[in-house]
Amino acid sequence: MMLTPEPYAPYRRPPLTKAYLRGEASREDLPIESDGWYEKNGVELRLLTGASAIDRERQIIVTDEGEELSYDVCVLATGSEPIRPPVPGGDDPEILTMRTIENSTRLQDRVGEGGRAVVVGSGFIGCEAAASLSLRGAGVTLISRDESPQGKRLGHEVGERIEAWLRDYGVDLRLGARIEGIERADGGHAVSLGDGETVKTGAVLFATGVAPRIRLASEAGLEVDHGIITDSSMRTSAPGVFAVGDIAQAYNESARRHLSVEHWGDALEHGRIAGTVISGSEAAWSMVPGFWSTIGDKTIKYRAWGDGWDEQVFEEEGEGFTVWYGKDGVLVGVLSHGMDDDYKRGRGLIEHGEPFTR
Protein backbone atom coordinates (compact mmCIF):
# COMPACT_ATOMS: atom_id res chain seq x y z
CA MET A 1 0.00 0.00 0.00
CA MET A 2 1.25 3.47 -0.89
CA LEU A 3 -0.06 6.61 0.82
CA THR A 4 0.29 10.11 -0.63
CA PRO A 5 -1.37 13.34 0.52
CA GLU A 6 -1.37 14.61 -3.07
CA PRO A 7 -4.27 14.01 -5.50
CA TYR A 8 -1.92 12.52 -8.11
CA ALA A 9 -0.02 9.28 -8.47
CA PRO A 10 3.78 9.68 -8.01
CA TYR A 11 5.20 11.99 -10.67
CA ARG A 12 8.48 13.51 -11.80
CA ARG A 13 9.20 16.82 -10.08
CA PRO A 14 12.26 18.12 -12.01
CA PRO A 15 10.11 19.35 -14.97
CA LEU A 16 8.10 21.60 -12.63
CA THR A 17 10.71 24.36 -12.96
CA LYS A 18 11.60 23.54 -16.56
CA ALA A 19 9.52 21.98 -19.36
CA TYR A 20 6.23 21.91 -17.42
CA LEU A 21 6.59 25.50 -16.21
CA ARG A 22 7.37 26.64 -19.75
CA GLY A 23 4.29 24.84 -21.11
CA GLU A 24 6.38 22.37 -23.10
CA ALA A 25 5.12 19.37 -21.08
CA SER A 26 1.63 18.52 -19.80
CA ARG A 27 0.42 16.80 -16.66
CA GLU A 28 0.12 13.60 -18.68
CA ASP A 29 3.89 13.68 -19.25
CA LEU A 30 4.74 13.73 -15.54
CA PRO A 31 3.61 10.38 -13.97
CA ILE A 32 6.41 7.96 -13.16
CA GLU A 33 4.21 4.96 -13.99
CA SER A 34 1.02 4.48 -16.01
CA ASP A 35 -2.32 4.23 -14.23
CA GLY A 36 -2.48 0.47 -14.85
CA TRP A 37 0.96 -0.20 -13.36
CA TYR A 38 -0.19 -0.08 -9.76
CA GLU A 39 -2.96 -2.66 -10.12
CA LYS A 40 -0.81 -4.88 -12.32
CA ASN A 41 1.93 -4.91 -9.66
CA GLY A 42 -0.36 -5.32 -6.67
CA VAL A 43 0.10 -1.79 -5.30
CA GLU A 44 -2.88 -0.18 -3.58
CA LEU A 45 -2.41 3.55 -4.14
CA ARG A 46 -4.23 5.76 -1.64
CA LEU A 47 -4.40 9.37 -2.85
CA LEU A 48 -5.21 12.33 -0.59
CA THR A 49 -4.12 10.22 2.39
CA GLY A 50 -1.48 11.48 4.79
CA ALA A 51 0.13 9.75 7.76
CA SER A 52 -0.09 11.41 11.15
CA ALA A 53 1.70 8.90 13.41
CA ILE A 54 3.70 5.68 13.58
CA ASP A 55 2.98 3.21 16.38
CA ARG A 56 6.17 1.15 16.44
CA GLU A 57 4.99 -1.25 19.14
CA ARG A 58 1.85 -2.29 17.26
CA GLN A 59 3.38 -1.72 13.81
CA ILE A 60 0.59 0.65 12.87
CA ILE A 61 0.45 3.74 10.67
CA VAL A 62 -2.27 6.20 11.70
CA THR A 63 -3.66 8.29 8.83
CA ASP A 64 -4.77 11.90 9.08
CA GLU A 65 -8.35 10.61 9.21
CA GLY A 66 -7.56 8.34 12.18
CA GLU A 67 -7.55 5.09 10.22
CA GLU A 68 -5.07 2.49 11.48
CA LEU A 69 -3.09 0.54 8.89
CA SER A 70 -0.88 -2.36 9.96
CA TYR A 71 2.52 -3.00 8.39
CA ASP A 72 5.28 -5.59 8.35
CA VAL A 73 7.62 -3.11 6.66
CA CYS A 74 7.20 0.67 6.45
CA VAL A 75 9.13 2.91 4.05
CA LEU A 76 9.18 6.62 4.88
CA ALA A 77 9.54 8.82 1.79
CA THR A 78 7.98 12.07 2.97
CA GLY A 79 10.36 14.39 1.13
CA SER A 80 10.98 18.03 2.00
CA GLU A 81 9.04 21.17 2.74
CA PRO A 82 9.95 24.51 1.11
CA ILE A 83 11.35 27.09 3.53
CA ARG A 84 9.98 30.63 3.66
CA PRO A 85 12.55 33.25 4.67
CA PRO A 86 11.74 35.20 7.85
CA VAL A 87 10.95 38.54 6.21
CA PRO A 88 7.94 40.76 7.00
CA GLY A 89 5.08 39.66 4.77
CA GLY A 90 6.83 36.42 3.83
CA ASP A 91 4.03 34.32 5.32
CA ASP A 92 1.51 35.65 2.79
CA PRO A 93 -0.12 32.52 1.24
CA GLU A 94 -0.20 34.32 -2.13
CA ILE A 95 3.60 34.11 -2.22
CA LEU A 96 4.41 30.89 -4.03
CA THR A 97 6.86 28.08 -3.34
CA MET A 98 7.85 25.21 -5.63
CA ARG A 99 7.31 21.56 -4.77
CA THR A 100 4.11 20.25 -6.39
CA ILE A 101 2.21 20.31 -9.67
CA GLU A 102 -0.17 22.85 -8.12
CA ASN A 103 2.76 25.15 -7.25
CA SER A 104 4.03 25.15 -10.83
CA THR A 105 0.55 25.47 -12.32
CA ARG A 106 -0.29 28.48 -10.13
CA LEU A 107 2.94 30.15 -11.23
CA GLN A 108 2.11 29.45 -14.89
CA ASP A 109 -1.37 30.92 -14.46
CA ARG A 110 -0.08 34.09 -12.81
CA VAL A 111 2.94 34.80 -14.98
CA GLY A 112 2.42 34.59 -18.71
CA GLU A 113 3.85 36.57 -21.59
CA GLY A 114 4.16 40.20 -20.55
CA GLY A 115 3.72 39.39 -16.86
CA ARG A 116 6.18 40.10 -14.08
CA ALA A 117 7.70 37.79 -11.48
CA VAL A 118 10.20 38.05 -8.65
CA VAL A 119 12.15 34.92 -7.82
CA VAL A 120 13.82 34.93 -4.40
CA GLY A 121 16.86 32.67 -4.19
CA SER A 122 19.67 31.73 -6.57
CA GLY A 123 19.87 28.00 -5.95
CA PHE A 124 19.09 25.67 -8.82
CA ILE A 125 15.32 25.82 -8.31
CA GLY A 126 15.42 29.62 -8.42
CA CYS A 127 17.72 29.79 -11.45
CA GLU A 128 15.73 27.18 -13.38
CA ALA A 129 12.41 28.86 -12.63
CA ALA A 130 13.73 32.35 -13.46
CA ALA A 131 15.04 31.20 -16.85
CA SER A 132 11.82 29.33 -17.63
CA LEU A 133 9.60 32.29 -16.75
CA SER A 134 11.73 34.59 -18.85
CA LEU A 135 11.45 32.18 -21.79
CA ARG A 136 7.65 32.38 -21.35
CA GLY A 137 7.97 36.07 -22.14
CA ALA A 138 7.75 37.39 -18.59
CA GLY A 139 9.83 40.11 -16.99
CA VAL A 140 11.77 38.35 -14.24
CA THR A 141 13.78 39.76 -11.36
CA LEU A 142 15.88 37.33 -9.33
CA ILE A 143 16.81 38.53 -5.84
CA SER A 144 19.49 36.77 -3.81
CA ARG A 145 21.63 37.49 -0.79
CA ASP A 146 24.47 35.66 -2.55
CA GLU A 147 26.92 37.74 -4.55
CA SER A 148 26.98 35.05 -7.25
CA PRO A 149 24.46 32.28 -8.12
CA GLN A 150 25.72 29.09 -6.45
CA GLY A 151 29.10 30.76 -6.01
CA LYS A 152 29.59 29.60 -2.43
CA ARG A 153 28.66 26.04 -3.25
CA LEU A 154 30.32 25.62 -6.65
CA GLY A 155 32.94 28.36 -6.85
CA HIS A 156 33.00 31.84 -8.40
CA GLU A 157 33.85 30.66 -11.94
CA VAL A 158 30.67 28.57 -12.10
CA GLY A 159 28.71 31.38 -10.46
CA GLU A 160 29.90 33.83 -13.11
CA ARG A 161 28.74 31.55 -15.90
CA ILE A 162 25.32 30.94 -14.37
CA GLU A 163 24.99 34.70 -13.89
CA ALA A 164 25.86 35.31 -17.55
CA TRP A 165 23.34 32.69 -18.71
CA LEU A 166 20.56 34.29 -16.68
CA ARG A 167 21.37 37.77 -17.97
CA ASP A 168 21.35 36.40 -21.54
CA TYR A 169 17.82 35.11 -20.89
CA GLY A 170 16.81 38.60 -19.83
CA VAL A 171 16.64 37.97 -16.08
CA ASP A 172 17.24 41.10 -13.98
CA LEU A 173 19.66 40.00 -11.25
CA ARG A 174 19.77 41.70 -7.85
CA LEU A 175 22.66 39.91 -6.18
CA GLY A 176 23.94 40.62 -2.69
CA ALA A 177 20.52 42.10 -1.96
CA ARG A 178 18.50 41.95 1.25
CA ILE A 179 14.70 41.91 1.34
CA GLU A 180 13.24 44.18 4.00
CA GLY A 181 9.62 43.20 3.47
CA ILE A 182 6.88 42.19 1.02
CA GLU A 183 3.45 43.78 0.76
CA ARG A 184 0.46 43.30 -1.51
CA ALA A 185 0.09 46.07 -4.08
CA ASP A 186 -1.91 46.65 -7.28
CA GLY A 187 -3.09 43.05 -7.56
CA GLY A 188 0.43 41.73 -6.98
CA HIS A 189 3.25 42.44 -4.55
CA ALA A 190 5.82 45.12 -3.76
CA VAL A 191 9.20 43.79 -2.61
CA SER A 192 11.24 46.28 -0.57
CA LEU A 193 15.02 45.90 -0.72
CA GLY A 194 17.67 46.97 1.75
CA ASP A 195 18.98 49.70 -0.55
CA GLY A 196 15.59 51.44 -0.46
CA GLU A 197 14.39 50.24 -3.86
CA THR A 198 10.95 48.64 -4.27
CA VAL A 199 10.34 46.03 -6.97
CA LYS A 200 6.70 45.71 -8.04
CA THR A 201 5.60 42.38 -9.45
CA GLY A 202 2.60 40.24 -10.28
CA ALA A 203 3.93 37.16 -8.49
CA VAL A 204 6.64 36.20 -6.01
CA LEU A 205 8.29 32.77 -5.89
CA PHE A 206 10.34 31.76 -2.85
CA ALA A 207 13.12 29.38 -3.92
CA THR A 208 15.00 29.60 -0.65
CA GLY A 209 15.68 25.98 0.22
CA VAL A 210 13.86 23.09 1.85
CA ALA A 211 13.73 21.24 5.15
CA PRO A 212 13.24 17.45 5.41
CA ARG A 213 9.86 16.30 6.70
CA ILE A 214 11.02 14.16 9.63
CA ARG A 215 8.23 14.86 12.17
CA LEU A 216 6.72 11.37 11.83
CA ALA A 217 10.07 9.73 12.51
CA SER A 218 11.03 12.08 15.34
CA GLU A 219 7.72 11.64 17.17
CA ALA A 220 8.00 7.86 16.76
CA GLY A 221 11.39 7.92 18.48
CA LEU A 222 13.55 7.07 15.49
CA GLU A 223 17.14 8.33 15.52
CA VAL A 224 17.22 11.66 13.70
CA ASP A 225 19.69 14.47 13.12
CA HIS A 226 19.26 16.77 10.13
CA GLY A 227 17.45 13.81 8.57
CA ILE A 228 16.50 10.29 9.60
CA ILE A 229 19.62 8.26 10.36
CA THR A 230 19.84 5.07 8.29
CA ASP A 231 22.45 2.47 7.47
CA SER A 232 23.64 1.98 3.89
CA SER A 233 20.66 -0.32 3.22
CA MET A 234 18.24 2.47 4.22
CA ARG A 235 17.22 0.81 7.51
CA THR A 236 16.35 3.23 10.32
CA SER A 237 16.90 2.62 14.03
CA ALA A 238 13.40 1.06 14.25
CA PRO A 239 12.98 -2.56 13.11
CA GLY A 240 11.01 -2.83 9.90
CA VAL A 241 11.17 0.90 9.13
CA PHE A 242 13.16 2.28 6.19
CA ALA A 243 13.71 5.89 5.06
CA VAL A 244 14.57 7.10 1.54
CA GLY A 245 15.04 10.32 -0.38
CA ASP A 246 15.40 13.82 1.07
CA ILE A 247 14.63 12.68 4.61
CA ALA A 248 17.33 9.99 4.74
CA GLN A 249 20.66 10.79 6.34
CA ALA A 250 22.07 7.55 5.04
CA TYR A 251 25.48 5.94 5.43
CA ASN A 252 27.36 5.84 2.14
CA GLU A 253 29.83 2.95 1.86
CA SER A 254 32.20 4.80 -0.49
CA ALA A 255 32.17 8.05 1.51
CA ARG A 256 32.32 6.12 4.80
CA ARG A 257 30.00 8.59 6.48
CA HIS A 258 26.35 9.63 6.64
CA LEU A 259 25.17 12.03 3.94
CA SER A 260 22.03 14.08 3.39
CA VAL A 261 21.13 14.69 -0.26
CA GLU A 262 18.17 16.32 -1.99
CA HIS A 263 18.65 14.96 -5.51
CA TRP A 264 16.07 13.19 -7.65
CA GLY A 265 18.44 10.47 -8.85
CA ASP A 266 19.58 9.62 -5.33
CA ALA A 267 15.99 9.34 -4.11
CA LEU A 268 15.41 6.79 -6.89
CA GLU A 269 18.57 4.95 -5.88
CA HIS A 270 17.52 4.91 -2.22
CA GLY A 271 14.17 3.43 -3.24
CA ARG A 272 15.85 0.77 -5.35
CA ILE A 273 18.10 -0.20 -2.45
CA ALA A 274 15.26 -0.34 0.09
CA GLY A 275 13.08 -2.38 -2.28
CA THR A 276 15.91 -4.83 -2.94
CA VAL A 277 16.57 -5.34 0.77
CA ILE A 278 12.87 -5.68 1.63
CA SER A 279 12.49 -8.35 -1.06
CA GLY A 280 15.19 -10.44 0.60
CA SER A 281 18.36 -9.56 -1.33
CA GLU A 282 21.31 -7.40 -0.37
CA ALA A 283 22.01 -3.84 -1.48
CA ALA A 284 23.90 -0.86 -0.09
CA TRP A 285 24.30 2.80 -1.00
CA SER A 286 27.77 3.49 -2.36
CA MET A 287 27.13 5.74 -5.37
CA VAL A 288 28.37 9.33 -5.21
CA PRO A 289 25.34 11.67 -5.16
CA GLY A 290 24.63 13.81 -8.18
CA PHE A 291 22.14 15.75 -10.24
CA TRP A 292 21.60 17.62 -13.50
CA SER A 293 20.31 21.16 -13.60
CA THR A 294 19.02 22.72 -16.82
CA ILE A 295 18.86 26.51 -16.84
CA GLY A 296 17.09 27.40 -20.07
CA ASP A 297 19.04 25.30 -22.57
CA LYS A 298 22.22 25.13 -20.47
CA THR A 299 22.81 21.92 -18.52
CA ILE A 300 25.13 21.44 -15.57
CA LYS A 301 25.99 17.92 -14.42
CA TYR A 302 27.33 17.51 -10.91
CA ARG A 303 28.53 14.70 -8.66
CA ALA A 304 29.96 15.28 -5.19
CA TRP A 305 29.73 14.11 -1.61
CA GLY A 306 28.16 17.49 -0.96
CA ASP A 307 29.72 18.32 2.39
CA GLY A 308 32.30 20.83 1.27
CA TRP A 309 35.58 21.35 -0.60
CA ASP A 310 38.71 23.38 0.06
CA GLU A 311 40.31 23.60 -3.40
CA GLN A 312 39.28 23.31 -7.03
CA VAL A 313 40.61 23.20 -10.57
CA PHE A 314 38.62 24.89 -13.36
CA GLU A 315 39.19 23.56 -16.88
CA GLU A 316 37.68 25.28 -19.92
CA GLU A 317 37.24 24.11 -23.50
CA GLY A 318 35.28 26.43 -25.78
CA GLU A 319 31.90 27.00 -24.15
CA GLY A 320 32.28 23.82 -22.10
CA PHE A 321 33.98 23.52 -18.73
CA THR A 322 34.73 21.10 -15.92
CA VAL A 323 35.46 21.83 -12.27
CA TRP A 324 37.24 19.30 -10.08
CA TYR A 325 36.78 19.72 -6.31
CA GLY A 326 39.15 18.51 -3.62
CA LYS A 327 39.09 18.32 0.17
CA ASP A 328 42.02 17.33 2.38
CA GLY A 329 43.88 16.19 -0.72
CA VAL A 330 41.13 13.86 -1.97
CA LEU A 331 38.84 14.31 -4.99
CA VAL A 332 35.32 14.95 -3.66
CA GLY A 333 33.38 16.36 -6.62
CA VAL A 334 33.12 17.08 -10.32
CA LEU A 335 30.93 19.52 -12.24
CA SER A 336 30.69 19.76 -16.00
CA HIS A 337 28.92 21.69 -18.73
CA GLY A 338 29.28 20.25 -22.22
CA MET A 339 32.06 17.89 -21.14
CA ASP A 340 30.22 14.66 -20.39
CA ASP A 341 33.30 12.43 -20.46
CA ASP A 342 34.70 14.24 -17.42
CA TYR A 343 31.38 13.88 -15.62
CA LYS A 344 31.18 10.14 -16.32
CA ARG A 345 34.83 9.55 -15.42
CA GLY A 346 34.55 11.61 -12.26
CA ARG A 347 32.05 9.29 -10.58
CA GLY A 348 34.48 6.39 -10.33
CA LEU A 349 37.38 8.61 -9.30
CA ILE A 350 35.36 10.15 -6.46
CA GLU A 351 33.98 6.83 -5.25
CA HIS A 352 37.49 5.37 -5.12
CA GLY A 353 38.83 8.33 -3.17
CA GLU A 354 41.43 9.32 -5.76
CA PRO A 355 43.97 11.98 -4.75
CA PHE A 356 43.20 15.55 -5.77
CA THR A 357 45.96 16.87 -8.02
CA ARG A 358 46.29 20.20 -9.79
Nearest to 13 by CA among 213, 300, 265: 265
pTM: 0.94
- Return d(Cα 301, Cα 281) in angstroms, integer: 31
* Crossing angle of helices 124-135 and 156-168, rounded to 10°: 20
Instruction: Encode pLDDT of 306-343 as tens digits.
Output: 999 999 999 999 999 999 999 999 999 999 999 999 99
Residues of the chain with pLDDT under 50: none
**CA-wise closest residue to 130 among 91, 160, 93, 166:** 166
Which DSSP state fits 247?
G
pLDDT for 139 equals 97
* Strand-strand pairing, 241-243 and 179-185: unpaired
Q: What percent of the chain has pLDDT above 70? A: 100
Which residue type occupies 25?
Answer: A
Domains of the chain: 2-79+211-278 (3.50.50.60), 84-208 (3.50.50.60), 308-351 (no CATH)
